[in-house]
Amino acid sequence: MRPSLQAATGIPQKNTSYGDDATALYKAYFFGPFRIIPRNQPINEFAWRRNKARSLLKWFLLNPSRMFSADQLIALFWPGVDRASGLRNLHVTTNYLRHLLEPELLPYQKSKFIRRNKNNFYWFEVDESWWADIFAVDALLASSREAEQRGDTAEVIAHLNKIARYCSLGFLPEDAYDDIFAPYRRQYERIATQVLESLIRLCSQTGMFDEVFSYAHQALLIDPYCELAVAAIVSAYFQQGNVSEASRRLDDFQQLLREDLDLEPGKDILLLKEKFSR
pTM higher than the cut 0.95:
no
Q: Are strands 68-69 and 114-116 parallel, antiparallel or unpaired?
A: unpaired
SS3 string, 74-96, reads HHHHCCCCCHHHHHHHHHHHHHH
> What are the tens digits of pLDDT across the range 83-118?
999 999 999 999 999 999 999 998 888 999 999 999
Maximum separation of any 2 CA atoms in the chain, in Å: 80
Which pLDDT does position 128 carry in this prediction? 92
> What are the tens digits of pLDDT across the range 211-225?
999 999 999 999 999
What is the pLDDT confidence band of residue 278, given thresholds at 50, 70 and 90?
low
Q: DSSP for 90-159? A: HHHHHHHHHHHH-TTPPTTPPPSSEEE-TT-EEEE---TTEEEHHHHHHHHHHHHHHHHHHT-HHHHHHH
Euclidean distance between CA atoms 130 and 35, whole angstroms: 13
| Residue 12 in this model has a pLDDT that exceeds 50 | no
Burial of 130 (0-12, 13-18, 19+ CB in 10 A): buried
Which pLDDT does position 7 carry in this prediction? 43
Euclidean distance between CA atoms 215 and 221, whole angstroms: 10
Q: What is the mean pLDDT of residues 107-133?
A: 94
Structural domains of the chain in order of their starting residue, each with its CATH number: 25-130 (1.10.10.10), 224-278 (no CATH)
Residue type, 240: Q
Q: What is the mean pLDDT of residues 195-222?
A: 95
**CB pairs under 8 A, 24+ apart, for 215-221?**
215/164, 218/164, 218/168, 219/193
Query: How far apart, in Å, are the Cα atoms of 181 and each of 49, 59, 185?
Result: 20, 8, 6
Residue type, 127: D
> What are the tens digits of pLDDT across the range 226-273?
999 999 999 999 889 898 999 999 999 999 999 999 999 888 888 887
Which pLDDT does position 114 carry in this prediction? 96
Euclidean distance between CA atoms 30 and 35, whole angstroms: 7
